[in-house]
Amino acid sequence: MKILILAAGLGKRMNSKYPKVVHKLSGRELINWVVETAGKLSNDVAVVLGHKADIAKEVLPEWVEIFIQKEQLGTAHAVMSALDFIDPDDDVLILYGDVPLISVGTLEKMMDVHRKRGADVTVLTAIIDDPTGYGRVIRDEEGKFLRIIEDKDLDESHRNVREINSGIYVFKGISLLEALPKVNNDNAQGEYYLTDVLPLLENVETLLTDDPVEIMGVNTRKQLAFLEKILKERVIERLLENGVTVIDPETTYIQSTVKVGKDTVIYPMTFIEGHTIIGEDCEIGPMTRIVDSEIGDGSKIVRSELYMAFVEGGVSVGPYSRLREGSVLRKGVRVGNFVEVKKATLEEKVAAQHLTYIGDAHIGKGTNVGAGTITCNYDGFKKNPTFIGENVFIGSDTEFVAPVRVEDDALVGAGSIITGDVPKGSLALGRARQVVKEGWVYRKRGKR
């Protein structure tokens, strides 16, 4: 079976400078929801692009074939621009790039009906409460399919029909090829409608889906927000079933790509996105955002921001920490308030609890990083590395002017500016010696 995804439309109602199908739902472009589903059913998938095709092309995986519809003259016209793709001897499944949540299961069911009944076309339909905007399925008194009328072409007698066209069909290749050229554009929008192919075919089957969410189209940002909400609810429901505690589902946002282990507790106002994997028995949040990161079992992340960070088990982060790309925190590390880490590895049991910036650095096992420590990694031209060994004690308010190395077991005095390497087991002091002038205040101000 071949699969053709229509995605050339302007998406006028999105009021956007980007093509509609690159807008994201739960972190993934609309078109890629459909492409991913299609990929599970067939290796032969093509997409019709048109409006701002260059932008849409960029988000598509390489294995999909691309056809260009130069002018967007309607859904039938879009299929015509991919005529070479359609094989008269094979079925072709048509999907819309703006109907993202269609499932593999439903499509398989539809294929099944199609083949068993030897249909020319099988249309997926749904009954929904508010059919505004969708094409309506018109039937005769016996319930036999007659045609689909677009919302804009409806007359009053059909306005209350609640069975809608999902925009998803499977055609016999030959039937589609024969009927397509007969479609005209005599309608409210002056477009060539793919739906007008159906009354030209003899054996039209319909399949009513029992999950209308699957066939909801995104034409407006309101619809996008609606699907985002529904999807989020489903993701959280799945987590709850799998043994994750979500204290307040209302204020928690988790994308569909996220994985969370058993007995982890997610506190309110927490946002977990992208390819994030969280282990078991963790405490996440409140007020935390985690994007594309990995967190090991038994870690605790409070009021913090993580982006492309790798955190092992038993780690404590926050409150108010920021882990940026390339942060690696090994087992038992503790990172506290107002600590920022970027492109740095903190080996086992490193503690950096207060007011610190660690960038382009490697910090050895068991080292204690005092409050206010800063790696001065940027010299105005390039980033330089800081290397700190194991079991080093770094006094508070230390600055490491990189590149610089501090070997194992060294001790750096508080308030030091370290510009040169520190050998193993040494004490390094890089600050002005304290001067005390006894009685100076009284002499200066006069005795009271």
Residues annotated as part of the active site = 354
User: CA nearest 231: which of 91, 26, 432, 383?
Assistant: 26
Among 95-103, 169-177, 287-295, 377-385, which window interacts with Ca ion (CB under 5 A)? 95-103
Closest approach of Ca ion to the CB of residue 173, in Å = 24
Closest approach of Ca ion to the CB of residue 133, in Å = 8
Query: Could you give the string, one character per residue 130-149, with x where binding to ligand UD1 holds by CB under 6 A and - elsewhere?
Result: ----xx------------x-
What does each C-alpha distance from 322 to 149, 205, 305, 308 come to in angstroms?
Answer: 54, 56, 5, 11
Closest approach of ligand UD1 to the CB of residue 72, in Å = 3
Is the link from the previous residue into 319 a cis peptide, with omega within 30 of 0? yes
CB contact at 8 A, 194 and 165: no
Among 15-23, 119-127, 217-225, 325-333, which window interacts with Ca ion (CB under 5 A)? 217-225
Q: Between residue 47 and residue 66, which ones bind ligand UD1 under the rule CB under 6 A?
A: 48, 50
Closest approach of ligand UD1 to the CB of residue 71, in Å = 8
> What single letter denotes the amino acid at residue 150?
E
Q: Which is nearer to ligand UD1, 50 or 298 (CB)?
A: 50
Establish if 8 lies at the interface with ligand UD1 (CB under 6 A): yes
CB atoms near residue 219 (< 10 Å)? 17
Q: DSSP assignment, residue 422?
A: B
CB contact at 8 A, 245 and 230: no
Residue 294 makes CB contacts below 8 A (sequence gap 6+) with 276, 277, 278, 309, 310, 311
Q: Which is nearer to Ca ion, 217 or 314 (CB)?
A: 217
Establish if 29 lies at the interface with ligand UD1 (CB under 6 A): no
Establish if 214 lies at the interface with Ca ion (CB under 5 A): no
Residue 33 dihedral angles phi and psi, to the nearest 5°: -60, -45
Q: Which is nearer to ligand UD1, 47 or 278 (CB)?
A: 47
Closest approach of Ca ion to the CB of residue 97, in Å = 9
78: left (phi over 0), alpha (psi -120 to 50) or beta: alpha
Q: How many residues bind to Ca ion according to rule CB under 5 A?
A: 3
Among positions 195, 304, 368, 398, the unique one binding ligand UD1 when judged by CB under 6 A: 195
Helix (H, G, I), strand (E, B) or coil at 4: strand
By beta-carbon distance, which residue lies closest to ligand UD1? Answer: 135
The sign of the torsion formed by the CA atoms of 241, 247, 253, 257 equals negative
Among positions 26, 29, 38, 167, the unique one binding ligand UD1 when judged by CB under 6 A: 167
CB atoms near residue 150 (< 10 Å)? 18
Establish if 98 lies at the interface with Ca ion (CB under 5 A): yes
Instruction: Answer with the entry of Ca ion, ligand UD1, none that 9 interacts with (C-beta below 5 to 8 A by kind).
Output: ligand UD1
CB under 8 Å, gap of 24 or more: what pairs does 313-318 form?
313/279, 318/288
The sign of the torsion formed by the CA atoms of 107, 113, 118, 123 equals negative
Establish if 97 lies at the interface with ligand UD1 (CB under 6 A): yes
CB contact at 8 A, 258 and 236: no
Closest approach of ligand UD1 to the CB of residue 226, in Å = 14
Establish if 19 lies at the interface with Ca ion (CB under 5 A): no
Among positions 19, 50, 100, 217, the unique one binding Ca ion when judged by CB under 5 A: 217
Closest approach of Ca ion to the CB of residue 217, in Å = 4
Q: DSSP assignment, residue 271?
A: E
Query: Could you give the string, one character per residue 398-437, with x where binding to Ca ion holds by CB under 5 A and - elsewhere?
Result: ----------------------------------------
User: CA nearest 231: which of 216, 248, 246?
Assistant: 216
Residue 170 tokens read as: 């499977």
Pairing of strands 91-96, 163-172: antiparallel
User: CA nearest 111: which of 170, 179, 64, 34?
Assistant: 170
Among positions 53, 99, 236, 404, the unique one binding ligand UD1 when judged by CB under 6 A: 99
Q: How many residues bind to ligand UD1 according to rule CB under 6 A?
A: 30
Closest approach of ligand UD1 to the CB of residue 53, in Å = 10
Among positions 193, 253, 267, 400, the unique one binding ligand UD1 when judged by CB under 6 A: 193
Residue 53 makes CB contacts below 8 A (sequence gap 6+) with 8, 19, 66, 68
Q: Which is nearer to ligand UD1, 6 or 170 (CB)?
A: 6
Instruction: Answer with the entry of Ca ion, ligand UD1, none that 165 interacts with (C-beta below 5 to 8 A by kind).
Output: ligand UD1
Q: Which is nearer to ligand UD1, 165 or 321 (CB)?
A: 165
Instruction: Answer with the entry of Ca ion, ligand UD1, none that 73 interacts with (C-beta below 5 to 8 A by kind).
Output: ligand UD1
Query: Would you tell me which residues interact with ligand UD1 (CB under 6 A)?
Result: 6-9, 48, 50, 69, 72-75, 77-78, 96-99, 134-135, 148, 150, 164-167, 193-195, 217, 219
Q: What does the binding site for Ca ion look like in residue numbers (CB under 5 A)? A: 98, 217, 219
